[in-house]
Amino acid sequence: MLPGYATIGVAAPILLTLLRMLQGLSVGGEYIGSIAFRAEHAPPNRRAFYGSWSGFTVVLGTLLGSAVAALATLALSDTQLHAWGWRVAFISGLAIGALGFWLRLGIAESPDFAELRRTGQLAANPIADALRRDRGAIITTIGLTGLSSVGFYLPFVWLPTWLSQMIAHPLPKEQAFASSTISLSALLVLIPLLALLSDRVGRRPMYLAASAGYALLSYPLMSMMSSGTFAAAIAGGLAFAVVSSLFGCCMGATMVELFPTQTRYTGVAIGYNVGQAVLSGTAPLVAVALVEHTHHEIAPAFYLIFCGVVAAFFSFSIPALHNKPLPAVHHRARRRPHPLFARGGAHRARRRARQLFASGRTRGAPRRLRERGPPRRQTHHQPTDRARDRERREPRNHQQQGSGRCRSREVRLPAVVPRAAALARGGNRFPAAARNPHR
């Protein structure tokens, strides 16, 4: 819709780049928000199914774009298509944007986020917290995004260009777009169905199966599709749809389960968008460069194989949370010391306990201190709490009923020694360590 270079000069590509960046910020933020929103509303045993509808809408949008491109190619000539036909698709996108904006205005926050806000546990600086505490999860997200970005962009978005221009026996453009539309339709159906399977077996097996599929089948499928027949293009596209649906069904749930609620939106957005920008944005450039430098039309398959191997490595970092609640806060933030011992040291802990009892605030004290009262200052003239407990349990006279250990020790002590006799009777004259040398 912008004026061309002949009209406004170098401002045309600059404005186009800025608008594309704004579009990327909007789409990247809202897509991650929809994934987190759906997952936090979903029950633990249906998280992948709920989250798969975000991927469903992405495929649906791509399918609509492919269908519009196919219709424009059939209905318009090349001159009309390059002159004004391509603008029709962009104008029709305004209606979808207005519908999305209307839906966004009436959506409340998820229950998990609302609970964190109510308890005051929201992160003060989510970006800093995510980069400091969730570095491993962010790296895992980037590694898994390599498969989802390159594994989707090359077989479904860039493949019609490859089929119609870069193979030895190119297909007509309408057949290339038609094969892509059929494969995207199959992917659209498979994503929610396989999401139910992911809720039963977990995320890691699905990602490992998808990684193995891309690593083992990319070269044979692209070799078959390069034969130049419409049937081969459809068969290869359907096979790619099955393999792609293995990770597309649980991609949203997998990324959500890597982060706690405190930094989930920010952490997933950083990892996913960095992976998309670096890998998906450069996928066509890498594919064309591989064909030109190797003079081998199936060379892009090696890029898919590489992404499959990398994703298989990072798949082992996926946690098994498919039937468990989502973490709310970081694990380190949940481990807080008891208020009595937060300052460290036994002396300071006892002094803090006495202050609590003096002020009447005994709710934060341990049950042992609430039952016995405030701890007393221990001296060598007073028995300790442990000594008092021993006096209640053990009789002072060995003739009374008592434990065999106490009776045997009292008999062995020589009665002619006054100090030993006093120790045997359990007197309070000496500290606990002196009265019981066996402790």
Q: Which residues lie closer than 8 Å to 85 by C-beta, 6 or more apart?
A: 72, 76
Residue 195 shares a structural domain with residue 288: yes
Write the secondary structure of 108-162 as one string of H (helix), E (strand) and C (coil).
Answer: CCCHHHHHHHHHCCCCCCHHHHHHHHCHHHHHHHHHHHHHHHHHHHHHHHHHHHH
Please say whether the beta carbons of 348 and 132 come within 8 A.
no
- Crossing angle for the helix pair 173-201 and 47-75, nearest 10 degrees? 180
Question: Which of residues 334, 354, 369 is at a domain's end?
Answer: 334
For tokens 């904006």, the residue is 101
174-183 pLDDT tens trace = 888 888 888 9
pLDDT of residue 166: 85
pLDDT of residue 101: 78
Residue 355 shares a structural domain with residue 215: no
Query: Rounded CA gap, 32 and 49, in Å?
Result: 16
CATH of the domain at 12: 1.20.1250.20
Q: Considering only 55-64, 126-135, 311-320, which range has the smallest mean pLDDT? A: 55-64
Mean pLDDT of 212-218: 93
Residue 259 shares a structural domain with residue 351: no
Token digits of residue 137: 């999860």
In a domain, 98, yes or no: no
Please say whether the beta carbons of 15 and 2 come within 8 A.
yes
Q: Find how far residue 321's CA is from the centre of its chain.
A: 10
In a domain, 364, yes or no: yes
Output 74 or 268, whichever has higher pLDDT: 268
pLDDT higher than 70, residue 232: yes
Q: Considering only 18-32, 228-242, 270-284, which range has the smallest mean pLDDT? A: 18-32
Mean pLDDT of 273-294: 86
pTM here is 0.67
Highest mean pLDDT among 65-74, 82-91, 197-206, 414-423: 197-206
**Burial environment of residue 268 by CB neighbours within 10 A (0 to 12, 13 to 18, 19 or more):** buried
Residue 350 shares a structural domain with residue 370: yes
Q: Which residues lie closer than 8 Å to 20 by C-beta, 6 or more apart?
A: none
Please say whether the beta carbons of 257 and 204 come within 8 A.
no
Mean pLDDT of 224-245: 91
Residue 317 shares a structural domain with residue 419: no
In a domain, 80, yes or no: no
Listed residue (383, 389, 387) closest to 371, CA to CA: 389
Residue 348 shares a structural domain with residue 408: no
pLDDT of residue 73: 74
Output 64 or 297, whichever has higher pLDDT: 297
Torsion sign over Cα 415, 421, 426, 427: positive
Q: Please state, in angstroms and as integers, the Cα–Cα distance from residue 114 to each residue in 37, 47, 261, 335, following that order.
A: 12, 19, 10, 22
Query: Rounded CA gap, 432 and 74, in Å?
Result: 98
The tally of CA atoms less than 13 A away on the side-chain side of residue 50 is 17
Confidence at 420, pLDDT banded by 50, 70, 90: very low
Q: Considering only 37-51, 277-291, 399-413, which range has the smallest mean pLDDT? A: 399-413
Query: Rounded CA gap, 147 and 163, in Å?
Result: 21
The tally of CA atoms less than 13 A away on the side-chain side of residue 90 is 8
As a whole number, the mean pLDDT across the chain is 77
Confidence at 372, pLDDT banded by 50, 70, 90: low
Token digits of residue 290: 């591989």
Mean pLDDT of 391-413: 47
Overall domain count for the chain? 3
Print the domain residue range for 353.
Answer: 337-377
Residue 159 shares a structural domain with residue 209: yes
In a domain, 193, yes or no: yes
In a domain, 370, yes or no: yes
φ, ψ for residue 401 (rounded to 5)? Answer: -70, 130
Residue 320 shares a structural domain with residue 439: no
Output 320 or 28, whichever has higher pLDDT: 320
pLDDT of residue 361: 59
Residue 236 shares a structural domain with residue 319: yes
pLDDT higher than 60, residue 7: yes
pLDDT of residue 43: 87
For tokens 């806000």, the residue is 117
pLDDT higher than 50, residue 405: no
